Amino acid sequence: MSSSDAADADADPAAGPPGRRHLSERQAEVMERLVAAAADEAEERPYGEISVRSIAKRAGVAPATAYTYFSGKDHLLAEVLWRRMQSSPHLVDVNLPLGERVAATVRTMGFGTLETPAVAVATTALLGDGPDVKRVRTRIGVEIGRRLGAALGPGADADVLGVLQVTYTGAILSAGMGHLAFEAVPSLMAEAVALMTREDAAS
């Protein structure tokens, strides 16, 4: 992640861009319905068949209302991943071996709560180039780094952390495209840790 991306994440800690941060209770409820509807759409339809209109219809609101909160379908679908990650637990058992800690952390990232087709749809959206999508993508990247860093423990090698982040991102994209089972990602990450830290050789 570039320094400009990190700056964006620091400057925009809320879930939406300026103008969408301070929501009334009713507005927050509508926003949650839209995100839930986007998740359902992602599990039932391919990316090309999803639109803001179809998401809004499922949520029971007008398309114009959806655009009040989200800039487009990519923003909505990316938000699905971010919300799943935010709501997933993050507890690191320091008594586990390093590889197992990383694998356990990956299991709690939130992506596993989506069906595989939904991961494909949402990760496709996450690659969008809109500014709102970029903000969500940056927040997800920062959170992935934070969680993997916590799993590695204090004084973690920055190079190891960087490679793990790239490995995890690539694994999720591969799972989304159907080239890798999502269930295989945690063990893949444990293997990556072992290779980089020579954990197997030391055991």
Position 86, amino acid? Q
Q: How far is CA 98 from CA 13, 166, 190, 196, in A?
A: 30, 18, 8, 11
Residue 76: left if φ>0, alpha if ψ -120 to 50, beta else—which one?
Answer: alpha
Residue 164 clears pLDDT 70, i.e. is over it: yes
Q: Domains along the chain? A: 3-202 (1.10.357.10)
CB 163 within 8 A of CB 36: no
Mean pLDDT of the chain: 83
| pLDDT at site 8 | 41
pLDDT value for 109:
82
Predicted confidence at residue 19, as pLDDT, reads: 42
Count Cβ atoms below 10 Å from residue 105 Cβ, excluding itself: 25
* Pairwise CA distance, residues 15 & 20, whole Å: 8
Encode pLDDT of 103-135 as tens digits: 999 888 866 666 667 878 888 898 888 999 999
Model pLDDT for residues 49-74, shown as the tens digit of each residue: 999 999 999 999 999 999 999 999 99
Name, in order, each residue with C-beta under 8 angstroms of 142's C-beta and a sequence gap of 6 or more.
Answer: 1, 6, 9
Backbone Cα Rg of the chain = 18
Which of 29-38, 58-67, 76-85, 194-203 comes out lowest in average pLDDT? 194-203
Whether pLDDT at 159 is above 70: yes
State pLDDT tens for residues 4-27: 444 444 334 334 443 445 778 898
State residue 179's pLDDT score. Answer: 83
Q: What is the mean pLDDT of residues 36-48?
A: 93
Neighbours of 3 (CB within 10 A): 7
Residue 118 and residue 43 in contact, taking contact as beta carbons nearer than 8 Å: yes
pLDDT at position 115 = 63
What is the pTM assigned to this prediction?
Answer: 0.78
| Position with higher pLDDT, 203 vs 110 | 110
